[in-house]
């Protein structure tokens, strides 16, 4: 098999999930378009490989016989040259995609470390910083941020958010999704109607503090998830406590990565799931 074909086939093994690591916060239409385009690249390259193999067999097996005229032979050679060029271009694009994916991963790992260093003075039970699916997650406990049943941020929580905003001010290509989460205990009627109302109000309160600390409002989105994205069982007090949290998700913009797949595609501003 020609070298360029082998290269393309190796690059086509890159998981689509690696390209679309942030699919949960990207609009469904753009996600579907990008996925379909990567699938098309894979299918086209497989088809081109078969065509090139067939053309080579035809050229080298029939060129010396009377079954192919000189004009037909030249036409086949031109077709083979064009197919080889197509394969080389696909190999180049897959190489570029691979390079950008590696650079994106390295950049997000660096950001995770900066955020963790900035928040090092907070206890593990108050907040954690992790990286999943190419995004950095800053998980802040209810205990750090809010009194029970309230959306008013505590002073220590404001301090953590201000330090996070300071780090993010120099990372302008990263957007932020603020997600409020609750346990499954129905809220007592009062200021908030239910857990949806409470989780959304808490996310909005945090966004306001981030904006006060200097964040560009175009880079921040607030979302309430209520009780429906738990990280622990709600059958125990400890599990309920873990579920009462706010997650601030740091999301890299995918415009350049999307254009590597298809120059006509751009990634949208993250929106609430």
Report the percent of the chain where pLDDT is more than 90: 49
Our count of domains for the chain comes to 2
Looking at the structure, do residues 172 and 240 belong to the same domain, yes or no?
yes
77 and 151 in a common domain: no
- Encode burial over 102-140: b for 16+ CB neighbours within 10 A, e otherwise: eebeeebeebbebbbebbeebeeebbbbebeebbbbbbb
pLDDT at 9: 44
Say whether both 106 and 140 belong to one domain. Answer: no
The string of pLDDT tens digits covering residues 205-254 is 999 999 999 999 999 999 999 999 999 999 999 999 999 999 999 999 87
pTM of the full predicted structure? 0.69
> Does residue 137 lie in a domain region?
yes
Q: Same structural domain for residues 252 and 125?
A: yes
- Per-residue pLDDT tens digits for 120-165: 999 999 999 999 988 999 999 999 999 999 999 999 999 999 999 9
| 144 and 207 fall within a common domain | yes
Among 62, 92, 111, residue at a domain's last position: 111
* pLDDT (0 to 100) of residue 7: 43
């Amino acid at each position: 098999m020609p070298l360029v074909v082998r290269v393309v086939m190796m690059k086509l093994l890159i998981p689509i999930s690696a390209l679309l690591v942030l699919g949960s916060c990207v609009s469904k239409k753009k996600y579907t378009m990008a996925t379909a385009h990567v699938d098309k690249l894979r299918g086209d390259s497989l088809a081109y490989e078969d065509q090139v193999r067939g053309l080579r067999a035809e050229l080298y097996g029939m060129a010396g016989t009377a079954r192919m005229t000189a004009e037909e032979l030249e036409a086949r050679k031109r077709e083979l040259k064009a197919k080889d060029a197509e394969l080389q271009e696909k190999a180049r694009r897959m190489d570029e995609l691979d390079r950008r994916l590696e650079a994106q991963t390295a950049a997000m790992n660096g950001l995770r470390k900066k955020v963790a260093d900035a928040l090092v003075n907070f206890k593990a039970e108050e907040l954690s910083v992790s990286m999943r699916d190419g995004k950095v997650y800053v998980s802040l406990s209810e205990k750090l941020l809010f009194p029970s049943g309230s959306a008013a941020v505590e002073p220590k929580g404001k301090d953590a958010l201000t330090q996070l905003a300071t780090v993010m001010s120099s990372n302008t290509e990263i957007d932020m999704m603020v997600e409020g989460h609750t346990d499954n205990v129905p809220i007592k009627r009062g200021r908030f109607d239910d857990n949806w109302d409470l989780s959304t109000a808490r996310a909005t309160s945090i966004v306001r503090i981030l904006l006060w600390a200097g964040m560009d409002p175009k880079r921040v989105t607030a979302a309430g998830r209520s009780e429906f994205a738990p990280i622990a069982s709600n059958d125990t007090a400890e599990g309920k406590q873990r579920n009462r949290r706010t997650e601030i998700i740091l999301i890299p913009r995918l415009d350049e990565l999307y254009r590597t797949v298809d120059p006509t595609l751009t990634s949208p501003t993250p929106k609430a799931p």
